[in-house]
Amino acid sequence: MHVFINIVPQAQLDWAKLSSLIEELANQSFAATTLNLQLPTEQSLTAEQQAQAASWHLSVNDLNLPSTPHNYLLNLRETDHVLPGALQQWDQLATQHPGSLISLAAFETTQNLDDQITAYFAEYESSATQQTFQTLTSTTPTTPTERQMTLWARQSYSIQTDLQTVGRLTQRLRPTGLLLPVTLLEHDLPLVSIAQAFHVLQLSQDVLRLHVPTIQRQIWAEATPVAWLDELQRIDVQSLGVMWQPVFTEYFQRQLNTLLDTAGKKNLSAADHVQLLSRIKELITPPTKVWSRLGLLRMVSPQMAHRLFY
């Protein structure tokens, strides 16, 4: 397996976080990777950053992917993290099931990683995999590094053929954090987009779900809710196959309710808040949560409510 890792900034490029991600990838000791930084047109690197990128063998805006078997595309934000042993785990899975879409479980970047790993061990303490591990080893991981490495021993995966299950589309439709077979990509679509992931999903025979997280990322609906709504709206439902239209329509409405929750909990700018709620008001259709309109009113000031509804 060769992995083309395409890194796209969440907003303005955070160079320190990019450096951290590059270091994590280098520590994987996995040679079959190509690294690219996909900068927006309005952003550029300083001369010093260009020199550093060259030393990392990090290309900039080179989106030419060789369309050969066993090649995968992985889009990441520079704010994401790759856990120890991740690439070896992906390679093992791709070798057994070449050409399949691989959905990666993830921890959250908004929470302490070691706390999440400890909670994960506690949640699956009675699982057969964990009991087998405890039988085979008498050591208990005591440091964060040891706990991260121990995750590998608990890794498992499933082959999912129910591609049109709405409840699982959140695992399968996202711009970042999926291993996409290069041979299934649509080169007229942006590499970092839900449209690209959806195109690959429709061409796939199955989805491989890697159950134990190997990456840490922030959910798009929470990190950049307006950008996530943009991504959802770029899908032309009428162009989808007959079987996919009702599936995506239901998924879309569920995501609007997710964004409503996000709007109420996150510290969005006033402009983003107004834009998000105004667009959701126009897009959401019955049946919706009973509290959706009331929820909108409770989230905003009287002045904003007047702008939205009167």
Q: Which of 227, 218, 240 is nearest to 81 (CA)?
A: 218
The 10s digit of each residue's pLDDT in 10-61 is: 899 999 999 999 999 999 989 899 999 999 999 999 999 999 999 999 999 9
How large is the average pLDDT for residues 81-104? 95
What the block records as the tokens of 4 is 């083309």
DSSP 176: S
pTM here is 0.86
- pLDDT at position 102: 98
Cis amide bond preceding 287, omega within 30: yes
> What angle do the packed helices 292-299 and 270-283 form, to 10 degrees?
170
Q: Is 98 a residue whose pLDDT tops 80?
A: yes
Sequence-separated contacts (24+) of 129-133 with Cβ below 8 Å: 129/154, 129/156, 130/154
First to last CA, the chain: 56
What is the three-class DSSP state of 64?
Answer: coil
User: Which tens digit of pLDDT belongs to each residue from 240-275?
Assistant: 889 999 999 999 999 999 998 887 666 678 888 888
Does the pLDDT at position 132 exceed 60? no
Give me 30's structure tokens.
């996995």
